[in-house]
Amino acid sequence: MSDDAKQCSDEVIRLLAGGSYTQDKQAAHDEGGGPTVDKFAEALEVNDRENLKGTIQVAVECGDAMVSIAEMTRDVMEVNNRSQAIAAAAEEMVASVRDIATTSEAAAADANDVEASANEGMHQAERAVQTMHNISKAVEDAVAKVDSLAEASAQIGEIVASIEAIAKQTNLLALNATIEAARAGEAGKGFAVVASEVKNLANQTAKATDDIRTRIENLRTEMATIVSSMEEGAKAVQEGEEVIVATGNGMRTIGDQITGVTSKMQEIASILAQQSEASTEVAQGVSMIADMSNRNSEEIARVADAMDKANAVILERVKTLGERDVTHKVVYLAKADHTTFKKNIMDTLIGRKSLHADELADHHNCRLGKWYYAVTDAEIKNTAAFRAMEDPHDRVHRFGKDALRALHSGDMDAALANAGNMEKASKEVLTLLEQLARELGH
């Protein structure tokens, strides 16, 4: 073999080893070894294509697994956050139930005290009724005695009237005796003296009788006033007795109601005590769930880290194979690109990455977009898969960007909704890429 031939052969081998199958074919044809080298190059290209397809498939599956892990992480984080919130709320509920139970027990104790006070008040009212009844009886007795005294005064008045009549008659007799003594002259002087004394006595008796009459009249007037006052007092006592009886009945009713309230408060206190125990158990259970969710989040994070490392190795292999001269390789590489695009979005949504919408390429500037809008080959452009790809490809990028915008504006629900729409569009794109590969004979 000449030096030129050997040099050409070495160049062909170098090109084949580097995956430059088109240049290799041209070099081989220049040296006259075209058919053999063509077959060898085609075999190597087929092998590289199969390696690329297999590696891309692994990358897609790994990426899908990472997306699933991201979604699972999101769900677990949501469960964890809600569990933590529920645990905190349960703790607050336990504290509140305990406070309410303590307050209810205190209220029940206060109700017992009020019940005792009401019962004591009712007993006091009953004693007051009895006392008022005794006062009323005493007033009635006093009125009766005053009435008896009035009757005695009336009788005394009658006696005084009799004495007054006798005094008048005595005075008249003394006057007649004096007249007769004067007629008798000297012989009647002694009788005249006696008659004068009798007259004086009669006058004194009349005067005393007038005084007694006046006193008796005053006494009767005072007694009438006393009787009137005592009758009013008796009436007031009767009214007071009725009021106290009504008060006692009201206090008895209140006492019965307080007894019912006390019973209910005690039941409530008992129920709250049981509720406190149940709430404590619930809080402990929720706390355990929260701890488990937290541990699950940590375990999933470790799995995600391991998958990230594996995915990085696979993508590096994809990059290496992507540098080889495989026909229509972008159809396969776009699958890995879209899976990575989805993964980056989902990682950002769960906080594993920090991306913004303006950092992402649109459907014109990603690898698939640049290839898509640069294609001039009619064979490719006329395939159904190629024509149908533009719309879902646009939606993948648009919904991905919208998801990040919603995330950074604080609307997680909208972010997740856009991520779901992105996932649907991405599946359409991947399906169309597989269809396109089949239509192109790969």
pLDDT digits (tens, 9 = 90+) for 10-36: 444 444 444 444 544 444 444 444 555
What CATH number was assigned to the domain covering residues 327-442? 1.20.120.30
Model confidence at 435, in pLDDT bands (50, 70, 90)?
very high
Q: 317 pLDDT exceeds 70?
A: yes
Higher per-residue pLDDT: 217 or 411: 411
Annotated domain spans of the chain: 327-442
96-117 average pLDDT score:
78
Q: 6 pLDDT exceeds 70?
A: no
Residue 442 has what pLDDT? 65
Q: What is the mean pLDDT of the chain?
A: 78
Please state the pTM of the whole predicted model. Answer: 0.51
250-257 average pLDDT score:
78
Residue 322 has what pLDDT? 64
Model confidence at 41, in pLDDT bands (50, 70, 90)?
low
Residue 387 has what pLDDT? 94
Residue 400 has what pLDDT? 94
- SS3 sequence of the chain: CCHHHHHHHHHHHHHHHHCCHHHHHHHHHHCCCHHHHHHHHHHHHHHHHHHHHHHHHHHHHHHHHHHHHHHHHHHHHHHHHHHHHHHHHHHHHHHHHHHHHHHHHHHHHHHHHHHHHHHHHHHHHHHHHHHHHHHHHHHHHHHHHHHHHHHHHHHHHHHHHHHHHHHHHHHHHHHHHHHHHHHHHHHHHHHHHHHHHHHHHHHHHHHHHHHHHHHHHHHHHHHHHHHHHHHHHHHHHHHHHHHHHHHHHHHHHHHHHHHHHHHHHHHHHHHHHHHHHHHHHHHHHHHHHHHHHHHHHHHHHHHHHHHHHHHHHHHHHHHHHHCCCCCCHHHHHHHHHHHHHHHHHHHHHCCCCCCCHHHCCCCCCCHHHHHHHHCCCHHHHCCHHHHHHHHHHHHHHHHHHHHHHHHHCCCHHHHHHHHHHHHHHHHHHHHHHHHHHHHCCC
pLDDT digits (tens, 9 = 90+) for 368-382: 999 999 999 898 999
Residue 329 has what pLDDT? 78
